Amino acid sequence: MLQSLSIRDIVLIEALDLEFGSGLTVLTGETGAGKSILLDSLGLALGNRADSGLVRQGTEKAQVTASFASPAKGSKLAATLAENDIEIEPGEPLIIKRSVKADGGSRAFINDQPCSATLLRMVGGQLIEIHGQHDDRGLINPKGHRALLDAFAGVEGSAVRDAYDAWQSAKTALEQAKQDQDSAEQDREYLEHSVAELSKFAPQPGEEEELALERATMMKGEKLTGDLEAIRAAFDGSNGGLASLRAAARRLDMISEEHPLLAEALEALDRSIIDAGEAEDKLHEAAAALSFDPQRLDDMETRLFDLRGLARKHRVEPGKLSNLLVGLQNKLAAISDGGRSLEELEACLARAKKSYIAAAEALRAQRAKAAKALDKAVAGELAPLKLDAARFETLLEELSEEHWNKGGMDRIEFLISTNPGAPLAPMGKIASGGELSRFILALKVALAEEYGLKTIIFDEVDRGVGGAVASAIGDRLSRLSSGAQLLVVTHSPQVASKGDAHMLINKSLSGTVSRTDVRALDNEGRRQEIARMLSGADVTDEARAQADRLLEGV
Q: What is the 3-state secondary structure (H, E, C) of 419-465?
A: CCCCCCEEHHHHCCHHHHHHHHHHHHHHHHHHHCCCEEEEECCCCCC
3-state secondary structure 384-418: HHCCCCCEEEEEEEECCHHHCECCECEEEEEEEEC
Interhelix angle 294-314/188-201, nearest 10 degrees: 160
Is residue 418 a contact partner of residue 434, using CB atoms and an 8 Å limit? no
Residue 220's pLDDT is what? 72
Residue 425's pLDDT is what? 87
Residue 161's pLDDT is what? 95
Residue 136's pLDDT is what? 45
The SS3 assignment for 406 reads coil
Is residue 101 a contact partner of residue 50, using CB atoms and an 8 Å limit? no
Instruction: Kindly report the pTM of this predicted structure.
Output: 0.62
DSSP 8-state symbol, 484: S
- Where are the domains positioned within the chain? 189-333
Residue 233's pLDDT is what? 63
- How many other C-beta atoms are found inside a 10 Å radius of the C-beta of residue 496? 27
Phi and psi of 68, rounded to 5°? Answer: -125, 155
The SS3 assignment for 146 reads helix
pLDDT tens-digit readout, 458-513: 888 777 777 888 888 888 888 888 878 899 998 889 999 999 999 999 888 766 67
Question: Which residues, other chains included, contact 543 with Cβ-Cβ below 8 Å and sequence gap of 6+?
Answer: 531, 532, 534, 535
Across 70-205, the runs of DSSP E, i.e. the strands, are 94-101, 106-110, 113-114, 128-131
For residue 314, the number of C-alpha atoms closer than 13 Å in the C-beta half-sphere is 25
Say which amino acid occupies 378. V
Question: Which residues, other chains included, contact 287 with Cβ-Cβ below 8 Å and sequence gap of 6+?
Answer: 228, 232
From CA 68, how far away is CA 400, in angstroms rounded? Answer: 43
> What would you report as the CA-atom Rg of the chain, rounded to the nearest whole angstrom?
47
Q: List alpha helices for 187-206, DSSP H.
A: 188-201
For the chain, list residues with pLDDT below 50: 134, 136, 451-453
Residue 40's pLDDT is what? 87
